[in-house]
Structure 1
Amino acid sequence: MASLGRLRSISRSLTMLSSAPLRICVVGSGPAGFYTAEKLLKTHESVQVDIIDRLPTPFGLVRSGVAPDHPETKVVINQFSRVARNERCSFLGNISVGSSVTLRELREIYNAVVLAYGAESDRSLGIPGENLGGAYAAREFVWWYNGHPDCRYLNPDLKSTDTAVVLGQGNVALDVARILLRPTEELARTDIATHALAALEDSSIRKVYLVGRRGPVQAACTAKELREILGIKNLSIHIPQADLVTTPADEIEMKNSRIRKRVYELLSKAATARTASVPGQRELHFVFFRKPDSFFESDHKNGHLGGVRLEKTILKGDAKSSNQVAFGTGEYEDLNCGLALKSIGYKSIGVDGLPFDNRKGIVPNEGGRVLADPENDTTYEPGLYVCGWLKRGPTGIIGTNIYCAEETLACISDDIVKGVLTSKQQKPGRQGLMELLDSRNNKVVPFDSWEKIDLEERRRGDLKNKPREKLVTWEELLNVAIA
């Protein structure tokens, strides 16, 4: 990968050759999109960048995915806001690729397009009963309590059951379990959506089961997230001692991964420190070596979830790696519940005119360059790039996108040097896009209009002693933005 210093030197040389700006569109305003825009602006002095998003609000999962009780993680919004205020950059919201403008049109309007719109769908378990009422993707639940306008009216029933099952043991699974179990007086001081706080205040849920296919050594969460949920006050933790017995293969995994070792140590300590439950006390149960077989219907409510049938598993070594894989044993047990949250992974979706690998849920690419022919990794779509989850799959943390953006930037810079991207190919850029959207009566939300939303949310939050009171419907957001 070329160094940033060398890339800047190349950019200055190119600027002397042509005064026309290179116009680049970044689709998606989450971390991947903003880091890409920031690095483009810093590296290439003649580049103009437009960041577009289908929502009227920027920042992607930093706004709608990060848990409300993790305000420190959202501080990165300040950095992204400085990028959006750069005179060579603009944020344009309420633009949907597909309905507002096609990918083909964007490629005609801009010298280059970087797709960084992430993953807005979910992996499916593909098991019976998955569509029963009360069974949701964890993403939907997260968007619901974070005030995402697409999930404002999800309305999960938290009153008709005392038990929730979360399938998965990664950080998102721990997030949703923590929100269900955390005292609402603590959540009331966060930017959680008001409708979600009201539902949680009336919630009857007292038991949450975190179900994983493998054992405590293989739990996919980080130590920080685990420590936080284990530290919830007045919470009874249940971890079967038998599940904590390790095998030689487990010991090797822990030796090779400090994170796995630390997670296992925290779980072991929590199991040892278990105290007697108090009546009415909330409970968190870790269920290991189980995989979902089916969801079954309630005996009391047609079409609604009654529980999850789990198959016991055993671990066997993967010949291709040092990881152990879970295999079903043919033994089953039922876990009754009225709410199930599937935290088994997000999934990206393609758009017309974009090569897409439906099995992997990514755009076929080489370092960020989109492959024109996935069977031939030397043929690229000129001027088309990817970054973030759409490029590598839904893995990593916010900071992972920094390195991902640098890799994509290196490809763009290399293509500038080679003349694949050149400002000699005059493109209308922002002006052309705005004219096209205006002809379609598509109201655009620029960054200063987002700042109206931000100001109003903060004003409403001050009245309730919260950081902000989110506007949670499309109508509210657009009314404030375009007023």
Structure 2
Amino acid sequence: MSRQLRVAVIGAGPAGIYAADILTKSEGVDARVDILDRDPTPFGLIRYGVAPDHPRIKEIVKALKRVLSNPDIRFFGNVSYGTDLKLDHLQQFYDAVIFATGARADRDLDIPGIDLQGSFGAADFVYWYDGHPDAPREWPFDPAAESVAVLGVGNVGLDVARMLAKTADEQLVTEIPQNVYDGLKANAAKDIHVFARRGPAQVKFTPMELRELNHSPNVDVIVHPEGFELDEGSMDSIRASKSVKLVVDVLQNYLAKEPKGADHRIHIHFCQNPVEVLGEDGKVVGLRTEVTELDGTGNVRGTGEFKDWPVQAVYRAVGYRSDNLAGIPFDNNSATVPNDGGRVIDIDGGPLPGAYVTGWIKRGPVGLIGHTKSDAAETIRLLLEDVDRLQTPANPDPEDVDAYLSGRGIEFTTWEGWEKLDEHEIALGEQAGRARVKVVPRDEMVQISRS
């Protein structure tokens, strides 16, 4: 094509940034990409979804920074799709729009009592301890909640359990802001019970995350032998996957290890299916589980035996869910945008011209960051196949976007603004002897970025 291709990417997490990187590096096309995000900052769940005591995982930010430093890619933060602009607005300025909004909400768990006071979604807790500007400043820790349940056996469940088990002072080496430190000081939890519906070969932990549970001198990891079963389906999984084998090996080591007598304990229970959150006077007072058994295939069946656990808080970590997007078809069952390889499918079954998806909004909240790269490559390949059929925007000048946002009174942030905020947070960290201290209030982040 002879003209310049203008593309908007909605979402500045890894999915959106990888899509922009792949597109601007594609041969035979002159592409310019604007990445828009509702947060004033880039990096999505890398900034607001990774536990603060995992700085190693945040190393990916270095690679994403290099991408966003590309002059062919611009960043617009503090711009909310569906509120500040919609698809028809974007189509005035861009040949195509790629939605990479990820999945931020907690998936529902439809059991009695899940809405009681003291029952929380893991995503909400993660956004709080990661200092997201839209999260509450305080977390409602109950000083009587010494025993807590975590429902779900993925990495997010482990993060939640670890953050509840470790002391606030242990987190002072991380980037947590003062309000999160103060909140964690109020946490009274001593015993955190993690419940798995199936057996040890079916958990979704990664080996490294599981090993790191035991790194704190203040935390014992206790794997309970009840339900620790390996059926033929489990053995097939172990033989087929090195990762599964490593996870089971780590769990077996915990199972055989004598507790060191730490003040805080993370208990891992297998073959316990949560069926009800028990309440009294509107508050959580327990969790009821049904004991399950493996059926030979790696799946489980209920035994009709129930057990009540005296806990005073429940955190459900059963997965994330994407938000519906204005003007875009949405499948409520899968919580994804209907698509064919990344092309958005309209309600009539045909492609929605110029609209694409990548990342979790495309395929659901599964897979690691490596999957996100290949996912973005597939979407960009289809977009480039469609180039000659894309409608030329009425206002392709990049400055028209700035003028439109400014004209609507939107205080957007830029990549240069992020660099100012980045320097500011690093300076705050230096004062405290840490690598970084996050700024939390949205208006403060915007003010620093636009100064």
Query: What TM-score comes out, normalization by structure 2 length?
Result: 0.95
Query: Aligned residue for 1:343?
Result: 317
Q: 1:293-308 alignment to 2 at 5 Å?
A: 293-298=275-280, 302-308=281-287
How many residue pairs match? The answer is 450
Deviations 1:59-104 (A, max 9, x none): 1001011111111211222222222222211000111111100122
2:23 is paired with a residue whose SS is helix
1:285 is paired with a residue whose SS is strand
Query: Aligned residue for 2:294?
Result: 315
1:454 to 398, 418, 422: 422
Query: Aligned residue for 2:93?
Result: 109
Task: Report the AA paired with residue 352 of structure 2.
Answer: E
Q: 1:222-261 alignment to 2 at 5 Å?
A: 222-261=206-245
Are the counterparts in 2 of residues 23 and 427 from structure 1 also a CA contact under 8 Å?
no
Deviations 1:212-259 (A, max 9, x none): 110111111011111110333243332222433422232122112222
Query: Aligned residue for 2:120?
Result: 136
Task: Report the AA paired with residue 16 of structure 2.
Answer: G
Task: Report the AA paired with residue 110 of structure 2.
Answer: G
- Alpha carbons of 1:466 and 1:406: their partners in 2 closer, same or farther (altered >3 Å)? same
Tell me if 1:391 matches 2:362: yes
Query: Aligned residue for 2:267?
Result: 285
2:137 to 153, 168, 178: 153
Residue ranges of structure 1 left out of the alignment (5+ in a row): 1-13, 318-322
Deviations 1:398-427 (A, max 9, x none): 2221111111111111112xx1236x5554
Q: Hey, what's the Cα distance between the residues in 2 that align with 1:170 and 1:429?
A: 45
1:109 is paired with a residue whose SS is coil
Q: Hey, what's the Cα distance between the residues in 2 that align with 1:83 and 1:242?
A: 49
Q: Hey, what's the Cα distance between the residues in 2 that align with 1:147 and 1:247?
A: 42
Task: Report the AA paired with residue 315 of structure 1.
Answer: L
Are the counterparts in 2 of residues 167 and 210 from structure 1 also a CA contact under 8 Å?
yes
Query: Aligned residue for 2:305?
Result: 331
Task: Report the AA paired with residue 404 of structure 1.
Answer: D
1:130 is paired with a residue whose SS is coil
1:327 is paired with a residue whose SS is strand
Task: Report the AA paired with residue 228 of structure 1.
Answer: E
Q: Hey, what's the Cα distance between the residues in 1 that align with 2:79 and 2:393?
A: 25
Task: Report the AA paired with residue 315 of structure 2.
Answer: L
- % identical aligned pairs: 35
2:247 is paired with a residue whose SS is helix
Query: Aligned residue for 1:473?
Result: 441
Task: Report the AA paired with residue 412 of structure 2.
Answer: V
Q: CA deviation at 1:283?
A: 1.2
Task: Report the AA paired with residue 433 of structure 2.
Answer: N
Task: Report the AA paired with residue 398 of structure 1.
Answer: I
Are the counterparts in 2 of residues 152 and 472 from structure 1 also a CA contact under 8 Å?
no
Q: 1:13-412 alignment to 2 at 5 Å?
A: 14=1, 18=2, 20-44=3-27, 45-157=29-141, 159-275=143-259, 278=261, 281-298=263-280, 302-316=281-295, 324-373=298-347, 376=349, 379-412=350-383
Q: Hey, what's the Cα distance between the residues in 2 that align with 1:370 and 1:85?
A: 29
Are the counterparts in 1 of residues 228 and 270 from structure 2 also a CA contact under 8 Å?
no
Q: CA deviation at 1:304?
A: 2.2
Q: Hey, what's the Cα distance between the residues in 1 that align with 2:212 and 2:344?
A: 39
Are the counterparts in 1 of residues 167 and 218 from structure 2 also a CA contact under 8 Å?
no
Task: Report the AA paired with residue 288 of structure 2.
Answer: R
Query: What TM-score comes out, normalization by structure 1 length?
Result: 0.89
Are the counterparts in 2 of residues 373 and 380 from structure 1 also a CA contact under 8 Å?
no
Which stretch shows the higher mean deviation, 196-205 or 165-174?
A: 196-205
Tell me if 1:433 matches 2:401: yes
1:124 is paired with a residue whose SS is coil
Task: Report the AA paired with residue 312 of structure 1.
Answer: V
Residue ranges of structure 2 left out of the alignment (5+ in a row): none
Task: Report the AA paired with residue 380 of structure 1.
Answer: P
Q: Hey, what's the Cα distance between the residues in 1 that align with 2:128 and 2:221?
A: 26
Q: CA RMSD in A?
A: 1.9
Q: CA deviation at 1:158?
A: 5.0
